[in-house]
Amino acid sequence: MRLFSKLADIWRHEELRNKIVITLGLILVYRIGSFIVLPGVNPDALSATTSGLGGLLALFTGGAFTRASIFALGIMPYISASIIVQLMSIAVPAVQKLQAEGESGRKKITQGTRFLTIAISLVQAPGYLASTVASVPGAVVNPSTFWWFSSVMIIVSSTLVIMWLGERITEKGVGNGISLLIMIGIIASFPQSLIQEFQHPDSTIYFFLVEIAFFLIVIGASVALVQGIRKVPVQMAKLQQADNMMPSGSGARSFIPLKVNSSGVMPIIFAQAIMFVPLYMTQSESLQGNAFLQSLSDFNGVGYNVLFFFMIVAFTYFYTAITVNPNQMADDLKRQNSFVPGIKPGRATAEFLDDILSKITLPGAIFLGFIAILPAIVFNLGLTHSQSFSIFFGGTSLLIMVGVILDTLQQIESYLLSRHYDGLMKSGKMRSRSQSPVGGLGG
């Protein structure tokens, strides 16, 4: 009943309703594009299944990767470009200077990310066509030079269209557009994977119900990881009310919410993008038989999952360091005449916050890495029968879905909350002075 009440509130909120309609419309465009096959390609000749990291690429693109769609590369080139730019923001002084310029610097960085996305797409598109499309007998009707050139241009242009769709969703819709497009690609294959697991010859109704129960437990653990916080108490030294200044002992109390996983799903996305590199390298003839690279391309292999785990832990610390600044937080507290009880303002407060952040980030990073490699664990132990369903059993897909859904729901809730306050102002007894029945007193 409460769900229907929330849906009714959303529908009555005109601005929120329009944003949701725009978001759904742009997502529909993305899904339609994922089914449009490149000209001159016979989709029936292509393999419908892809294993290893190629299967993850197919997962992130909603199946466009295996269909030779114009959206075959999905949003991954943009993610790779974002990773490179964020690494440059630490190592390159010129990029750091742009970040310090505020809005104008941010626009220049965004523009640079777009150009870098084009460059990465120009490299990945021919590699994808050579390894996944042209290498399949009968897949390309006429593999001429014109077909290669036109296909590369179409894939690169389509990648830019996806990037544009994500930016428009972020600007005019609800939620983070890039994250939503990744999530939609993942969710698109979930019903089919669930059916395959249920219809597997070795699966029984009892085993399937146990799987679903454990799946819900993993979802609950993922939600706890995303929403877990450490509250650091804050005391306001003085509280000003009207013309009186209250004594320091009666200041207001508050807290700083330090998230256990401040970096969200970005460490997994970063690590996953880098783990695609061995897959591309093994497509070349000279490296195709390299045992080490093959082990790093095996989604269920020990080498892949160990490296993936440690990369997630490292990226969690890295992304937390660039997004959460204890020195800035300490300066803000000092300017607001606030302090952490028992800690001196300034540098001591910054060190105290940094110490707490380091302590809560370690278990958060380890748990994040464990959830990320859980699909390989449950599949190798025989807890799931199909590879496609085990991918959702934790891992990148589940954490992205949980993180994006929670973030989007929080944005919707904030819109509803603002409407609630607007409703109180319009329907309450308080009126603005301009509406005062005695003219001229409104000032």
Domain borders along the chain are: 13-188, 191-437
Over residues 154-175, the mean pLDDT reads: 91
Nearest to 265 by CA among 354, 395, 170: 395
Over residues 367-371, the mean pLDDT reads: 87
Given a cut of 80, whether residue 9 has pLDDT beyond it is: no
Over residues 210-225, the mean pLDDT reads: 86
Q: Is 49 helix (H, G, I), strand (E, B) or coil?
A: coil
Sheet holding 229-236, edge to edge: 253-259, 229-236, 338-339
Nearby residues of 202 by Cβ (< 8 Å), 6 or more positions away: 385
Q: How far apart are CA 82 and CA 120, in angstroms?
A: 11
When mean pLDDT is compared over 145-159, 199-213, 272-286, 428-442, the highest value belongs to: 145-159
The string of DSSP codes covering 405-433 is: HHHHHHHHHHHHHHHHHHHHHHHSS---G
- Residue 246 vs residue 367, higher pLDDT: 367
When pLDDT is cut at 50, 70 and 90, the band that residue 413 belongs to is confident
Classify the C-alpha dihedral 16-21-25-28 as positive or negative. positive
Q: Which CATH superfamily is domain 191-437 in?
A: SecY subunit domain (1.10.3370.10)
When pLDDT is cut at 50, 70 and 90, the band that residue 228 belongs to is confident
Q: How far apart are CA 425 and CA 133, in angstroms?
A: 60
Given a cut of 90, whether residue 367 has pLDDT beyond it is: no
Q: How many other β-carbons are positioned within 10 Å of the β-carbon of residue 418?
A: 13
Given a cut of 50, whether residue 434 has pLDDT beyond it is: no
Residue 107: per-residue pLDDT: 86
Given a cut of 50, whether residue 442 has pLDDT beyond it is: no
**Rg of the chain, C-alpha, whole Å:** 26
When pLDDT is cut at 50, 70 and 90, the band that residue 168 belongs to is very high
Residue 49: per-residue pLDDT: 47
Domain 13-188 has CATH 1.10.10.10: no
> Which uninterrupted H or E stretch holds 255?
strand 253-259
Q: Do domains 13-188 and 191-437 have the same CATH topology?
A: yes
